[in-house]
Every structure is written in C-alpha cells, then in structure tokens.
Structure 1
Amino acid sequence: MGGITGQFRSTGRRLGGVAALCALAGLLGACVADQTGATVQPAVVRVPAEAPRTTGRERAADSDHLKLVASFGGEARAPGVTRMLTEVTDRLVKASDRPDQAYAVTLLDSPVVNAFALPNGRLYVTRGLVALASDTSEVAAVLAHEMAHVTLNHATARSELELRSALVSRVVADVLNDPDTGAQLQSQSRFALARFSREQELEADATGVRTLAKAGFDPFAAGRFLAALNRSTGLKGGSAAAPDMLATHPGTAERITLVTRAARRIGAPGIGTDDRASYLAAVDGLAYGDNPRDGAVRGHRFIHPGLGIAFEVPEGFALENTRSAVLGTTQDGSRRLLFDQIDAKEGQTLDAVLKASWNDAFDPAGFESREVAGHPAAFALSRGKDWTFRLAAIRIGDSTYRMIMAGKGAADPDAAFRHWTATLAPVSPDAVVLRPLRLQVVQATSPGAEDLARRMAVPDRALDRFLVLNGLERGAQLVPDRSYKIVAE
C-alpha cells in the first residue's frame, strides 16, 4: 500500500469495491514500481502510484482496455484536457522515430500521479498527473517517455527475457535435477531483470527528451516534471529510497541528472516552447483529488457516502485516500495510520479477523473487546522491531473495518489511536453531499505566494502544495497578473 512502505501488511480489500480483473493479470504483469516503493492496487492490476512507466506484454483487446480504464475510475470528463493530450501526442508522433505508429491516449479519472503505455500504442494518463504538471511541455515529456517504450519494444524485450530466464531455471531444476542451481539462477535472473528494466527506463528517458525537442517543446521539461514528482512524493510522507539492486526504476535524482544532461546536449535552457497558456486554459476546472464516489478527505476528516461511514484523525496527520485504503502520516513520519475494509467469515469473531489479517505476533495482554459508538470492536497490540502497532476491527452493519496506527520505535500510539477509533461512525448517504475539488486558474495580485496559498482548499502545508502545483521553489516571487493554479472547492 502506497506511503506505508511495507510497515502495514494488509489483506484488506479496497474501499472502492472494484471487482477483480483476473483477465488483466497477465497483460499487466510487467508493471514496475518507482524508487519509493509506493503502489496502488486497482483490482489485481499492480500499477504503482507514482512515476511514468511502461506496462503490458501483449496487445490489449477493447474489452481489456475497458476493464483497465474502469479499474482506474473510468475516463475523466475533461474535453479540454483530452483535446490537449491528443494534440500533443500527434505533434510528438510526427517528431518520433516511428511516425507511422498509431496512438490513442486516454485520460483516467484517478487522482494518483501515473502514466503508462501498452505495446499497441494505447497511452494512459491520470488527471492527477496532468494536475501536477506546470505546462504543456511537461505533459509532453511524460507522453514522449511512454511513446519511447512503445517504439523501442521494451515490453516485448522484457517479456522475452523473463521467459528465457524462467526456462533456464526450470530446465536446470527439473530436467538436470539440480534444484539448488536452479534456485540460484532464478535469484540471479531477478537482479538481471531489474537492471534490464532500469536500463529501459533510462533509454526511454533519453529517447523521450530527443523527441520532445524535435517536436519543438522545451527539452528541459522532463527534468522539471521529475523534480515536481519527487517533491509531490515528499508531501505524502515518502522519500527517495536507498539504491536497491532489485529496483525496477532508477532513482529520481539520477533520472533528473541524466535527462537534464540530455537536454543540455541539445541546447541551452530557453529553447523550445512550454505552451503554458494553453495548458492552463485546458486544466482550469479539472477535478482534483479524490472522486467523492470513492470517499474523500476534507481537512482531518474522511467521508465515504457510498459506504456510509466517516472518521476524523488526530491533529498532525495528513490523509491520503487510495483505492485500497486510507493512509495517514505525521509530517515527521513518526506516526502512521491505515484504514481499510476487510472480509470476515460468517460467525468469525473480530479478534480472529484481526489475527487472520496480520502477519506479525500480537502481545497477548493487548487484546480487548468493547464497543465503539455502539458497534462491536476488537483491539490488539503488536510490537515490531522498528514500530509499535495498535489495531482494531470494528463491525458496522454487515461490514468490518480495520484501523491501524503505528508509532516509531517503542512509542505506543494508544492514546491517539483510541481518540481516532472513537470517531468512526455511520453517516447517512443522503445527508452528505461531497463536491469534487477542482483546479482554478487565478491571477496573482502580489509577488508573495502566501496570498494564493491561503486560498488552497487543502488539509495542510498549503504553501508547499501551491508551490509544487505550479513548479515553484520556496522563496519564489510571483509575477503580478500572471496566472497560477490553486485548488478550490
């Protein structure tokens, strides 16, 4: 689950309730994670939450395309943005090494920052990614990267290497009756495949920058977007991970260095166009953040009208609503939380539900059964090496919800956890009207960014979020009468 970095090992199901897409499991088997390790799990499709990437091994039928789009919330209704994406794609195709390749781009109704491509030329971009970009050239940089994966046949090459590695390991283990050597070869192949995938990403980066420049866009846009992606991840409590030999993506810092170097080989900063005005015109009014049908974060409160529940987190927590769970973290990362819905067998006790959904040992003294706002609940304590966990399973009607809070080290988050669990309560769907947040393009009236930041409808760190949303560094001066993006209700 994104943002928890493996501390919570969940068997819970997503809040959105999307049916499993088993037919897509093979098609999207080559999905790869970025260097933060964050993932989003729409149905069984394991597509990471951050970083442009390629995915897929074979041509997708229309039915598979529809299932994939549905797993990301459907197509976003934003004609201006869709038109911009199509026009940018057409412009890039003419400048690419394969101007005969046909592409179709789909705007996905998902708040996560994501883009990927299928080998048949289908390109997918989330509205979350479009919102994060600062101008048309940054969107073009993402599309050029994905198109490079297609023209370079990366998915096919990776699939062939995977099959060849698996075949060698199986022959050694089964035919030559040497399982130890077969296991060793299989382990070695994992490192080889990860290295191969990282090399593909860097190759797609370099090819994308060249295509970007040939199309007349600013080639330095690729580095700008990756920097924005890195800062956006930081706002969610993520950070660049240490080098990992099994990582399938290079580190963001390395990618920024290499794409900037590639751009400098083409020319000095200032070449090409960013088409910022047309980008802002297209995204003005674009839905931002959670789709209310999947629940929404409003300040320190999470509301899900479809499930008919709501809760409020303690001060200091920033919330993120994914399709798998609601995640939260404090700014210093010392406390984290997770909320999800889990399956419970008929007649299964709530403490048994907790035990079945958790891999680590429980402290026998930490079990407690009591009611929360009139609903039955079971509580438990688990002490890990680096974290102390408080857990609860609460049954409301026919549904069972799991709440987990972690404190770093031996710090027991019990007081904050009890405060949080006590706020979980049913709400009437008819009594809650959630409207999506939207991007609004406004003009600056003064050089200070604080004035526009105060108008941001975000739960925390409004200034930081405003700066990231507009590709600005701290201390940057706004240009009076120049247009900028804010998040508005």
Structure 2
Amino acid sequence: MALAGLAAVLGGCAGDQTGTILAPAAISVPTQAPLTTGRRVADEADHAKLVASFGGEYRAPATLRLLTEITDRLVRASERPEEPYAVTLLDSAVVNAFALPSGRLYVTRGLVALASDSSEVAAVLAHEIAHVTLRHATARTEMALRSQLVSRVVADVLNDPATGAQMESQSKVTLARFSRDQELEADAAGVKTLAGAGFDPFGAARFLTALNRTLALKTGTGSGAEPDMLATHPGTVERITLVTRAARRIGAPGLGVDERARFLAAIDGIAYGDNPGDGMVRGSRFLHPSLGIAFEVPDGIAIENTRNAVLGTTRDGSKRLLFDQVESSAGRSLEDVLKATWNDGIDAGTIENRIVGGRPAVFAVSKGKDWTFRLVAIRVGENTYRMIMAAKGSADPDAAFRRWVDSLSSLDPDEARALKPLHLRVVTASSGETAEQLATRMVAPDRALDRFLVLNGLDRGGAVKSGQGYKLIGE
C-alpha cells in the first residue's frame, strides 16, 4: 500500500472517515469539455461491494425509516426534486457519509450516533445531495483525466519528463484546492436545502462542531487544524464559519425544526463503536478477541478500525499508521512477504531480521519524495501481520514505530471475554440532574464527561434540561 492508501485515513465527506472508499469532490468543468462520465443507475454489484467494505448494512428499521423520510423532504426542497435518491445505513463506527453520482446516499451508524437531532443528520444528507445535484464527482473525474492527459503528452509525446512531472505535481495541488472549494459549495447549497425543507439551518454548524470536538477528543489535541496543500477537505472551523454565515442569511436561530425527541427515539439502542468480533478500539489500544492480539499506539495518534485494516493519524496528518493482516503461504519468508505487499521501493540496506516478543519479524524502510515509511512484517502463530508508520517531511518515525511494534501482544482470554458490544441508550434527565451525574452512567474507556458532552452537543458547564432525552453509552 503506497502513500495514497495511508493518506486516505481522514478522507471522506462528512467526518473522521478513516478507510473511506469514495469522497465526492471536484471543480467546475468548462462547457466545451467532452463528458466521459455522468449520472447513471448504480451497478448493484458495485453497490454490494461498497456496502460490504463498510461492514454491510446496519439493520435498524426505525433509524433507516427516519433517514429515508428526511431524505425525501430534502430532495423535494433541492434544485432537482425530480431525481431519485436512496439512503443506505452502513454498519461502521466511523463517522462518515458520502454519495454516488447515481443518487445513492450512504451514512454510517457512527455518524448517526454523533448527531443530536434530525436537523443535524439532515444537514449531512443535504450536503451529500448537493454533491450530486452540482455534479461534483463528474467534474472531478473530468478534470483529473484532463490533467493526466496533459502531463502524459508533455512527458511522453513532447519528450519532456521533467516538465511533465512538474505539471502532474501542480495538478494535484490544483485538484485539492478545487476539491476544497466544492466542499464549501456543497455546504452552502446544503444549508439552503436544509432550510427549504423546514429544518433548522443551524443544524449544519452544530454537527460540524460536534465533529470537530470528537476529533479533538480522539487525538487529545486542540481543534481547528488547517488542511495542508493536498488536503481535499477544508478545515472544519472554516466550514463552521461558512455554514453559520449561510444560516444567518436565512434567519435568526429558532427558524425551522430540529425534531430532537423524534430523532433520539429512532436511534435509541443502535450499536455504538466497534463490533468485538471485528476488533475494538479502546482509547489508544486496539484489541481483537478473534485473533487474540492487542497493541497500543503512540500518544497523539487517533486510530479507527475498518473492515480490512486499522488506520491511524495525528491531528495534523503528519504521522500515519496502518495495521493489517496479509496472506503468507507456508515457507515464504517475511522479507518476501514485505516486498510483495509494498508497491514502493524498499531500501535493501535497511532490511533487518529481529525477534519481537518471541515472534519473528522483518523490518524495513521506504522513502518517498515527501514521506518516510517504517515497515515490519511480523508472524504471530499462523498469521502474518503488517505494521506501517509514515512520517511527513524529514522526520523519521523510527522511535514511535518501534514502541508501537513492541506493544503487539497476545490478548488475555479473560479480557477478551469481557469485551461486549456497546449501544446508545436514550435516558430522560430528572429534575436537578447534571451532566456530571449522567456521565457516570456511561460505559466509557476514559473521559466519560467529555464524551457525554460531545455526544449530546453540550458545552462544559452547560445545564441539562429536566424531561429531555440524552444519549448514553452502555452495554
């Protein structure tokens, strides 16, 4: 897996989107440009593969029914009310949403769990609908194809590889900038549609604020980090400012409905976090009962468990990691496994055979133009795992990487049996009850109060309203 795979850790449209498959983004294409892509009925086989990559569909009839009703209201208020849409709820703890040009919308249960009312999840769906109506995915594909063509012509036909490489590099920056512009365009259009459908237009700002707070909670850092030049999404703080301004142009706070009580009733009992059978993240630890392994990542790196790998990143994206299982036939050396599963060149002089915790392992280094990669293939019983850490610029992640590798251990059977799936439970606050008191009822690995506040859109010190519903994490 090359840099592009690791760089996708925080990709996606709505959120902390690790392991994201598709992230609609693009630029406006001149009218004279030939179209090679366009709106079509989504291929069912591709849809099935996409859903499977996110853990399958999550079966929650009440939640899906509400999402469908919200989508229908938004479509009627959109610029293309005649176009069909279908929403799928994905069984993934990652906070994410995305759309296909065909009108298929995808929302993870992790995103639904983070939202506090119908207007917040409606804001996300309105944003994705805007990507479709504005033909962003098509435009990005067209521009990417054109950029590749120009670079290839300059490099191959005109026999100028240096200029071709320079143009390719410039086009990546240009595409990233236009992608950010289109995210902002979708935000603005989404707020307009949100209000047109009768929802509180300030729901968009509330959800993005919750997203920013949950990312900061994971990394233990401040919020509002700015994207680098190649980031495809704007900074969350910038987006919050834009959608708040757009909402204020429509009216003062209090306009539209949020349908909080109805939303909470529809999501009461949905799964929260990872499924123990697929491995679980507990703070900085990853535990996989089925495989019988566990490890701990360095401070400042937030990790997400996807269907095929554990992905991690620092808040600023300067350091990233990947953990996955690779196939290894009997008798095949770990060095061969590492070389066969890494697309980029490996520095032969850095290959090192070691024993880590009684397990055979092969270490190596791969250096790209902007990144340094530390890699290891390690055998645990009959399974072979790959651990990769990347650092941007001149930094070498060696020290943090070796601590991470050394933390790989067997999972204690008693600890494995104690791991149970978590769910959201909606409770009604009693008279005089405080956020601190409600937080003590949470099943949380750490910082229970902070997690309660983020889940319920409350500020520290904010009052809990008697008789109102609040989300708790429980077994």
TM-score when scaled to structure 1? Answer: 0.78
- Name 1:451's counterpart in structure 2: 437
Deviations along 1:60-112, one digit per CA (max 9) or x if unpaired, are 21111111111111110000110000000111111111111111111111110
Indicate the SS of the match to 1:98: coil
User: Partners in 2 of 1:403 and 1:202 — Cα distance?
Assistant: 35
Match of 2:131 among 127, 149, 159: 149
User: Partners in 2 of 1:415 and 1:177 — Cα distance?
Assistant: 44
User: Partners in 2 of 1:409 and 1:122 — Cα distance?
Assistant: 42
Q: 1:133 to 1:97 in 2, by over 3 A?
A: same
Q: Residue 466 in 1 paired to residue 427 in 2?
A: no
Once the 2 structures are TM-superposed, how far is the Cα of residue 252 of structure 1 from its aligned partner? 1.1
Q: Residue 215 in 1 paired to residue 201 in 2?
A: no
Q: 1:34 to 1:235 in 2, by over 3 A?
A: farther
Match of 2:231 among 247, 250, 261: 247
In the TM superposition, what are the counterparts of 1:254-269 in structure 2 within 5 Å? Answer: 254-269=238-253
Once the 2 structures are TM-superposed, how far is the Cα of residue 309 of structure 1 from its aligned partner? 1.0
RMSD: 4.4
User: Partners in 1 of 2:169 and 2:419 — Cα distance?
Assistant: 49
Q: Residue 377 in 1 paired to residue 364 in 2?
A: no
Would you say the 8 A contact 1:32–1:53 is kept in 2? no
Q: 1:356 to 1:475 in 2, by over 3 A?
A: farther
Would you say the 8 A contact 2:361–2:379 is kept in 1? no
The aligned length equals: 454
User: Partners in 1 of 2:123 and 2:14 — Cα distance?
Assistant: 19
User: Partners in 1 of 2:306 and 2:402 — Cα distance?
Assistant: 26
Match of 1:309 among 263, 270, 292: 292
User: Partners in 1 of 2:304 and 2:295 — Cα distance?
Assistant: 13
Match of 2:152 among 170, 181, 186: 170
In the TM superposition, what are the counterparts of 1:397-416 in structure 2 within 5 Å? Answer: 397-402=381-386, 412=399
Q: Residue 442 in 1 paired to residue 436 in 2?
A: no
In the TM superposition, what are the counterparts of 1:332-371 in structure 2 within 5 Å? Answer: 339-344=323-328, 346-350=330-334, 368-369=354-355
TM-score when scaled to structure 2? Answer: 0.80
- Name 1:188's counterpart in structure 2: 170
User: Partners in 2 of 1:379 and 1:335 — Cα distance?
Assistant: 21
Indicate the SS of the match to 2:164: helix
User: Partners in 2 of 1:458 and 1:362 — Cα distance?
Assistant: 45
Indicate the SS of the match to 1:236: helix
User: Partners in 1 of 2:159 and 2:107 — Cα distance?
Assistant: 47
Once the 2 structures are TM-superposed, how far is the Cα of residue 440 of structure 1 from its aligned partner? 0.2
Partner AA of 1:443 in structure 2:
T
Q: Residue 485 in 1 paired to residue 467 in 2?
A: no
Aligned residues with identical type, % of pairs: 60
Q: 1:171 to 1:404 in 2, by over 3 A?
A: closer
Once the 2 structures are TM-superposed, how far is the Cα of residue 361 of structure 1 from its aligned partner? 6.7
Deviations along 1:270-306, one digit per CA (max 9) or x if unpaired, are 1111000110000000111112331224577644344
Once the 2 structures are TM-superposed, how far is the Cα of residue 352 of structure 1 from its aligned partner? 6.5
Match of 2:19 among 12, 29, 41: 41
Would you say the 8 A contact 1:390–1:413 is kept in 2? no
User: Partners in 2 of 1:409 and 1:243 — Cα distance?
Assistant: 21
Q: 1:67 to 1:349 in 2, by over 3 A?
A: closer
* Structure 1 stretches lacking a partner, 5+ long: 15-30
* Structure 2 stretches lacking a partner, 5+ long: 28-36
Indicate the SS of the match to 2:81: coil
Would you say the 8 A contact 1:405–1:417 is kept in 2? no
Partner AA of 2:423 in structure 1:
R
Q: Residue 139 in 1 paired to residue 117 in 2?
A: no
Would you say the 8 A contact 1:75–1:108 is kept in 2? yes
User: Partners in 2 of 1:335 and 1:366 — Cα distance?
Assistant: 22
Would you say the 8 A contact 2:25–2:137 is kept in 1? no
Deviations along 1:458-486, one digit per CA (max 9) or x if unpaired, are 21111111111111111112112321001
Once the 2 structures are TM-superposed, how far is the Cα of residue 453 of structure 1 from its aligned partner? 1.2
Q: 1:86 to 1:33 in 2, by over 3 A?
A: closer
Once the 2 structures are TM-superposed, how far is the Cα of residue 208 of structure 1 from its aligned partner? 0.6
Would you say the 8 A contact 2:17–2:95 is kept in 1? no
- Name 1:206's counterpart in structure 2: 188
User: Partners in 1 of 2:47 and 2:319 — Cα distance?
Assistant: 39
- Name 1:62's counterpart in structure 2: 44
- Bigger Cα displacement from structure 2, 448-457 vs 144-153: 448-457
Q: Residue 159 in 1 paired to residue 141 in 2?
A: yes
User: Partners in 2 of 1:248 and 1:390 — Cα distance?
Assistant: 25
- Name 2:410's counterpart in structure 1: 424
Indicate the SS of the match to 1:440: strand
Once the 2 structures are TM-superposed, how far is the Cα of residue 325 of structure 1 from its aligned partner? 3.5
Once the 2 structures are TM-superposed, how far is the Cα of residue 190 of structure 1 from its aligned partner? 2.1
Partner AA of 2:50 in structure 1:
L
Would you say the 8 A contact 2:435–2:463 is kept in 1? yes
